[in-house]
Amino acid sequence: MKKYILIALFITPSLLSAQAIDIKEAEAEVAFNFVDDDVDGVLEGFIFTGHLDLNDLAHSKVSGSVETKTIDTNNWFRSRHLRAKKFFNAKDFPQLTFSSTSISGNKEMFQVTGTLQIKGTRKTVKWAFENDGKTLKGTTTINTTDFQIEIHDDRQRNKAVITIVLPYQ
C-alpha cells in the first residue's frame, strides 16, 4: 500500500503541472506578406499534429500543414497566378508542411526550429512564438528563392514573413 501512495505522490504533481494544449485548427490563421511588394495573403486548411506541452517545451513536438490551393491575396488573378506551376505549383505540391526539430524557451515566449517544406524543397526555419494565454502567435521570415519560388529576379526582393495564429484550449 505504501508503494502505491508513493507512486501517487510522485505522479500527481507532474500531472498537475503539465499543460498540454489542444490547438483549435478551425480557428487557426496562416498569413503571409511578400515584403518587397507589400502583398498580404492567407492560406487555409490548417492541420495540426504533434503534442505541445507549455510546461515541457523541450519534449514537445509540433507539425502542421496548409493547403497550397487556398492561397488567397484578395486579388483573384494574383492568387491564381501564385498557385500556378511557375510559383507554388499547387497541383503538384498540394501542401506546405512544417515539422519541429526543437523547441526552447518558456511558455510565454519560445522558439520552434524545424523543417519547412514548400514545393518539394525542405529548409530549416526558426519561428518566434508568443503566448497570451489563449493564442499562440508565431512568425518567421523566409526567402522564397530558397523554395524555388522567384517572384523577382533579385534574391533580396523575395522575402516573405509568415505568421501563424493558433487559438488553443
**140-166: average pLDDT:** 97
Confidence of residue 130 (pLDDT cuts 50, 70, 90): very high
pLDDT for residue 1:
56
* Whole-Å CA distances, 12 to 7, 52, 57, 107, 136: 8, 20, 20, 21, 27
In SS3 terms, 148-168 reads as CCCCCCCHHHCEEEEEEEEEE
Residue-by-residue DSSP string for 64-112? EEEEEEEEE-S-HHHHHHHHSTTTT-TTT--EEEEEEEEEEE-SSEEEE
What is the C-alpha to C-alpha distance for residues 139 and 58, in angstroms, rounded to an integer?
19
Tens of pLDDT, residue by residue over 9-65, are 444 444 444 579 999 999 999 999 999 999 999 999 999 999 999 999 999 999 999
**pTM of this structure:** 0.87
